[in-house]
Amino acid sequence: MQLLDGKLAAQAIKEDLKKKTSALQEQGKRSPHLAAILVGTDGASETYVASKVKTCAEIGFESTLKRFPSTISEEELLREIEELNNNADVDGILVQLPVPKHISDDKVINAIDPSKDVDGFHPVSVGNMVSGTPTFIPATPYGILLLLEHFKVETKGKHAVVIGRSHIVGTPMSILLSRKAYPGNCTVTICHSATTNLKEICLQGDIIVAALGQAEFLTADMVKEGAVIVDVGITRVADASKKSGFALKGDVKFDEVAPKSSAITPVPGGVGPMTIAGLLMNTYNAYMKKQ
């Protein structure tokens, strides 16, 4: 069993971006700049955004974190996005989701200039991905592709089973894995809450991407011997023995699935760090497109 170590793969990508950024600075150019908007004080969102900002600093990217109380109006938030759209020194804009209920996700996503849409959620980015001329791929699927590439996982002709059909992970992941380019060229099955024979389908999977958001859902009896397992889930489960009061659990029951798999991502330290790597790659690409 090979551990698909996302921390390690993300480190290699970060080092590469750091070198590229120093080269830009030596030419007297400014650095790529990511602007993140965080609304409210959700614990997990705080952690992720802090991690994105910290990683920018590590590799020499500029970053701006704009924080707003959960009482901010939709109108005001849209104005803030517009301001970042018009700021020529900002390459990538990310609005950490979820936003409070009185604010429309769709309006927020649509407000972002597609040339700065490093999350890849804007309809223009989605359209470009589907029509085979991707501009920005959502960070998590992008990170997973980079991870498979880093560890040279064979994907051609494999049956990939994607569990979950979210716009952020399941849907784009299934599209990307079906493309001809490596890593891809898979036969893809998407499973979801209305799938009746999930276990039978999973047992056929050479590659399983678990992205349904249910802690320890995928068990050993659902997995074929030698399958490659990508665990996208990250759920905080109460755990009194931890200083934080919680443990992070993936969508895969790691201890029993790992021995059966040929390769598997851990949680934490798997897809999470690669999501950040995907976001930084998108930010760098946004910067380069403007040059």
Ligand X SMILES: Nc1nc(=O)c2c([nH]1)NC[C@@H]1CN(c3ccc(C(=O)N[C@@H](CCC(=O)O)C(=O)O)cc3)C=[N+]21
Asked if 262 is part of the footprint of ligand X (rule: CB under 6 A), the reply reads no
Helix (H) or strand (E) holding 199: helix 198-203
> Measured from the CB atom, is 198 or 273 closer to ligand X?
273
Q: Which residues contact 165 (CB under 8 A, 6 or more apart)?
A: 171, 174, 190, 192
Residue showing the smallest CB distance to ligand X in the complex: 272
- Could you tell me which stretch among 17-25, 57-65, 252-260, 262-270 binds ligand X (CB under 6 A)? 262-270
Rounded CA gap, 161 and 93, in Å?
31
Can you tell me which of 128, 135, 261, 275 binds ligand X, judged by CB under 6 A? 275
Rounded CA gap, 44 and 50, in Å?
10
Asked if 269 is part of the footprint of ligand X (rule: CB under 6 A), the reply reads yes
Q: Give the x-and-dash track for 66-95 against ligand X (CB under 6 A).
A: ----------------------------xx
The catalytic residue positions are 52, 96, 119
- Could you tell me which stretch among 15-23, 59-67, 159-167, 263-271 binds ligand X (CB under 6 A)? 263-271
Rounded CA gap, 8 and 273, in Å?
9
Rounded CA gap, 140 and 273, in Å?
9
Query: Is 166 a known ligand-binding residue?
Result: yes
Check: CB of residue 251 under 8 Å from CB of residue 238.
Answer: no
Check: CB of residue 259 under 8 Å from CB of residue 251.
Answer: no
Query: Is 165 a known ligand-binding residue?
Result: yes
Check: CB of residue 216 under 8 Å from CB of residue 252.
Answer: yes
Asked if 272 is part of the footprint of ligand X (rule: CB under 6 A), the reply reads yes
| Binding residues for ligand X restricted to 35-54, rule: CB under 6 A | 47-48, 51
| Binding residues for ligand X restricted to 90-119, rule: CB under 6 A | 94-97, 119
Asked if 276 is part of the footprint of ligand X (rule: CB under 6 A), the reply reads yes
Rounded CA gap, 107 and 125, in Å?
15
Please enumerate, by residue number, every residue annotated as part of a binding site for NADP(+).
164-166, 234
Residues making contact with ligand X (CB under 6 A): 47-48, 51, 94-97, 119, 139, 234, 248, 267-269, 272-273, 275-276
